[in-house]
């Protein structure tokens, strides 16, 4: 699934995503760390991977494999 970065705190490496259906989805530092990214910008489109419980496990750019 994809969404847009609504908030991102570089100090904690966590933030909040706004999914295409309007749902807000928080992501923890471990999901950002799993991406290999160095920074996210507000308004940036991202691809979101979740586990079976719906928790975000990885946030990547849509063009990354």
pTM beyond 0.85, yes or no: yes
Q: What does the alpha-carbon distance between residue 29 and residue 58 come to, in Å, rounded to a whole number? A: 10
Q: Which residues of the chain have pLDDT under 70?
A: 64-65
Q: In this predicted structure, what is the pLDDT of residue 63?
A: 81
Instruction: Please give the C-alpha separations between residue 2 and each of 10, 15, 30, 43, 58, in angstroms, as whole numbers.
Output: 21, 15, 18, 12, 12
Q: In this predicted structure, what is the pLDDT of residue 22?
A: 93
Instruction: Please give the C-alpha separations between residue 47 and each of 31, 36, 41, 42, in angstroms, as whole numbers.
Output: 11, 13, 14, 14
């Amino acid at each position: 699934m994809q969404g847009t970065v609504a908030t991102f705190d570089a100090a904690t490496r966590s933030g909040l995503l706004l999914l295409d259906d309007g749902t807000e989805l928080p992501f923890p530092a471990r999901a950002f760390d799993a991406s290999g990214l160095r920074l996210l910008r507000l308004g940036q489109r991202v691809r979101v991977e979740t586990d079976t419980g719906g928790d975000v496990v990885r946030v990547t750019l849509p063009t990354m494999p």
